[in-house]
Structure 1
Amino acid sequence: MSKTNPGNFFEDFQVGQVIEHATPRTVTEGDRAAYGSLYPTRFALPSSAVFAASVGLDQHPVEELIGFHIAFGKTVPDVSLNAVANLGYAECRFHQPVVPGDTLSTKSEVIGLKQNSNGKSGVVYVRSTATNQRGEVAIEWARWVMVHKRVPADSTADGAPETVIPDLAKAVDATDLIVPEGLVFSAYDFTAAGEPHRLEDYEIGEKIDHVDGVTLTASEHQQATRLWQNTAKVHFNAEARPDGRNLIYGGHIISLARALSFNGLANAQVIAAINAGAHASPAFAGDTVYAWSEVLDRTVLEPGSAEAPGIGALRLRLVATKGRDESMTLRGEDGKYAPGVLLDLDYWALIPA
């Protein structure tokens, strides 16, 4: 009897199945330092303990995406070890900040299945929940991933499970956003944060070119992916893909684009929710990544004044592209993603109002 784990294939999943993922992971200050060495992030709140204290947080949280990557990495051996690609996200909410010393554990429930027409793979939908050492929910999200079949079928109908596609919300409602306990922007230091822009300075429909670009390297993306204990074969094993290339972990592109968005959105300090996300095309070492954002919505969560800002939320579309797209075009006339679009991420961020 084999003692090794080849990972689950499409046939191994059933709707309603609950998977408790192995290897809880304790977050450390080393994670903060490593994240800063991998991505050009400069957001003041996770960068400065003094700034975090000035906006009411007793403990200095790490970037929200550190917690997300760690929690996501726990799911890989059971959900996406045999993935063709991670396809998208929905209904992701950050319930509370993750701080060094927190230990994250993750479990997932299978909420949908659909075998592809080629009979070689299928799409698995899961809802995952990360809890801390106190059993409190830190992060929850849904995602869907294309997974290889162990034994290819001749058609969709041949041995396919009943198709179940979950009804996922297009966006987290602003009323469901969670403001971290204690967070106040009344004494917000715009000089320390790097930009003067508040909620009302952004117009719905406005597009922001984040200008800067970063060229992907094999060593950095593999170091990042290992940091989150993500074991998906396509990121490390050149024999796992027909083209012999290592696919860049989609979360690496998300973090890179988020870091680039500082230039123009420096005060979008806290990611409160991810409404939707799609990895529109694959990225590989040697690609140069740029980013732009579009303001989709804005709302005041806690009113403030000119002298003492309150808390607002910006709904943003963050787009990462291979090569700079000064036209900031998301889709072509055919409705398909424009050439070069790598990431289309719809999220809510908290900002002084």
Structure 2
Amino acid sequence: MAKTNPGRFFEDYSVGDVIRHAVPRTVSGGERALYHALYPARHALYSSDEFARGCGLPSSPLDDLAAFHVVFGKTVPDVSLNALANLGYAEGRWLTPVYPGDTLRSTSEVIGLKQNSNGKSGVVWVRTKGENQRGETVMEYVRWVMVRKRDPEAAAPETRMPDLKPALDAGDLVIPEGLDFTDYDFTLAGEPHRWGDYEVGEVIDHVDGVTVEEAEHMMATRLWQNTAKVHFDATLREDGNRLIYGGHVISMARTLSFNGLANAQMIVGLNAGAHANPCYSGDTIKAWSAVLDKAETPAPGVGALRLRLVATKGGEPFTLRGEDGKYLPHVLLDLDYWALIPL
């Protein structure tokens, strides 16, 4: 009897399957230190207990994307170990802040299946929830991946495609209990720009760039216990290049966005996301953002910005798609999210 796990293939999924993922992870200040070293993240709410307390929270939470990576990493052996590509995200919400000492675990439900026309692979949609040790859902999101078939001749499952929101409404967002930006310290946060300073349609060049190194992206992927083969095993690809974990690109772009969006402190909603083109070691990531929408929230002094974050590897600035509607080759990431910012 085989003891090893080759991962699931497309024909192994059925709509309605609920997968409880191994292994629970207790997070600590170590995750924060490594996260800030890898990217490096600088948003004040996730850097200082005192700053967080000044904003009504008990202490500084784990970075929102670090929590996402932990929850995501748990799902890889069951969802995307044999994936050809991680295609997109939708309906993501951060529901409860994660603090050092919390233990996170993940569960996914298969909500959609569609075999590709070549018969060699198919798309799997899952809704993933991350929970803490108290059974509270800390975040949830939908993602879909293209997964190989074990047997190209195996019968295709019935096509079921989920009906997903194109974007979350501001009313769908959950504001952390106690969050209060009334006495927000703009000097310590690093920039003076508040909610009212941003206009819908505004485009922000984040100026800086970071060249991705092989060792760093593999360290990051191991940190999140993401076991996807394409990130580690160069023999799996004809070109011999390891793919950079898409979450590494997300976090790098979010970190670069500090220059211009330092006060967009907390990500609370993920409307859509696409890893438009592969990223490899040696690529230099740059980023720009567009303001898509604005909303006030019930929390004192707290507003919300809907932002499009685009990561690129060169190319003409502020360009996204060609005349054919496809992403241009230099575009790495197209992420649509909601962030909280002082009014």
Q: TM-score range by the shorter chain?
A: over 0.9
1:75 aligns with 2:65: no
Map 1:145-156; keep pairs closer than 5 Å.
Answer: 145-153=145-153
> Using the alignment, how far apart are the partners of 1:272 and 1:39 within structure 2?
20
Show the counterpart of 1:307.
none
> Any conservation in 2 of the 1:213–1:324 contact (CA below 8 Å)?
no
Q: Tell me by how many angstroms 1:332 deviates.
A: 1.8
Amino acid at match of 1:53: R
Show the counterpart of 1:35.
35
> Using the alignment, how far apart are the partners of 1:300 and 1:140 within structure 2?
23
Aligned pair count?
Answer: 343
Show the counterpart of 2:133.
133
> Using the alignment, how far apart are the partners of 1:302 and 1:237 within structure 2?
48
Show the counterpart of 2:121.
121
1:50 aligns with 2:54: no
> Using the alignment, how far apart are the partners of 1:170 and 1:261 within structure 2?
23
> Any conservation in 2 of the 1:93–1:274 contact (CA below 8 Å)?
yes
Q: Tell me by how many angstroms 1:10 deviates.
A: 0.5
Show the counterpart of 1:315.
306
> Using the alignment, how far apart are the partners of 1:161 and 1:120 within structure 2?
13
- Secondary structure, counterpart of 1:128 in structure 2: strand
Q: Identity across aligned pairs (percent)?
A: 67
Amino acid at match of 1:139: M
- Secondary structure, counterpart of 2:162 in structure 1: coil
Show the counterpart of 2:338.
348
Show the counterpart of 1:21.
21
Residues 269-292 of structure 1 show CA distances to partners (whole Å, capped at 9, x for unaligned) of 000111000000000001000000
Show the counterpart of 2:323.
333
> Using the alignment, how far apart are the partners of 2:59 and 2:210 within structure 1?
31
> Using the alignment, how far apart are the partners of 2:123 and 2:196 within structure 1?
41
- Secondary structure, counterpart of 1:302 in structure 2: coil
> Using the alignment, how far apart are the partners of 1:73 and 1:239 within structure 2?
22
1:249 aligns with 2:240: no
- Secondary structure, counterpart of 2:297 in structure 1: strand
User: Taking structure 1 as reference, are residues 192 and 203 closer, same or farther at Cα in structure 2, changes over 3 Å only?
Assistant: same
> Structure 1 regions of 5+ residues with no counterpart?
305-309
> Any conservation in 1 of the 2:180–2:299 contact (CA below 8 Å)?
no
* TM-score using structure 1 length: 0.95
User: Taking structure 1 as reference, are residues 75 and 190 closer, same or farther at Cα in structure 2, changes over 3 Å only?
Assistant: same
Match of 2:293 among 274, 297, 307: 297
> Any conservation in 1 of the 2:7–2:82 contact (CA below 8 Å)?
yes
> Any conservation in 2 of the 1:108–1:129 contact (CA below 8 Å)?
yes
* TM-score using structure 2 length: 0.98
Q: Pairwise CA RMSD of aligned residues?
A: 1.0
> Any conservation in 1 of the 2:175–2:299 contact (CA below 8 Å)?
no
Residues 20-52 of structure 1 show CA distances to partners (whole Å, capped at 9, x for unaligned) of 001100111000000011002110000111100
Show the counterpart of 1:112.
112
Show the counterpart of 2:170.
174
Show the counterpart of 1:209.
205
Q: Tell me by how many angstroms 1:205 deviates.
A: 0.5
> Using the alignment, how far apart are the partners of 1:209 and 1:280 within structure 2?
19
> Using the alignment, how far apart are the partners of 1:325 and 1:195 within structure 2?
27
- Secondary structure, counterpart of 1:23 in structure 2: coil
> Using the alignment, how far apart are the partners of 1:71 and 1:324 within structure 2?
33
Match of 1:196 among 192, 198, 206: 192
- Secondary structure, counterpart of 1:315 in structure 2: strand
1:267 aligns with 2:263: yes
Structure 1 runs, 4 residues or longer, greater than 3 Å off? none
> Structure 2 regions of 5+ residues with no counterpart?
none
> Using the alignment, how far apart are the partners of 2:206 and 2:59 within structure 1?
30
Q: Tell me by how many angstroms 1:319 deviates.
A: 0.2
- Secondary structure, counterpart of 1:161 in structure 2: coil
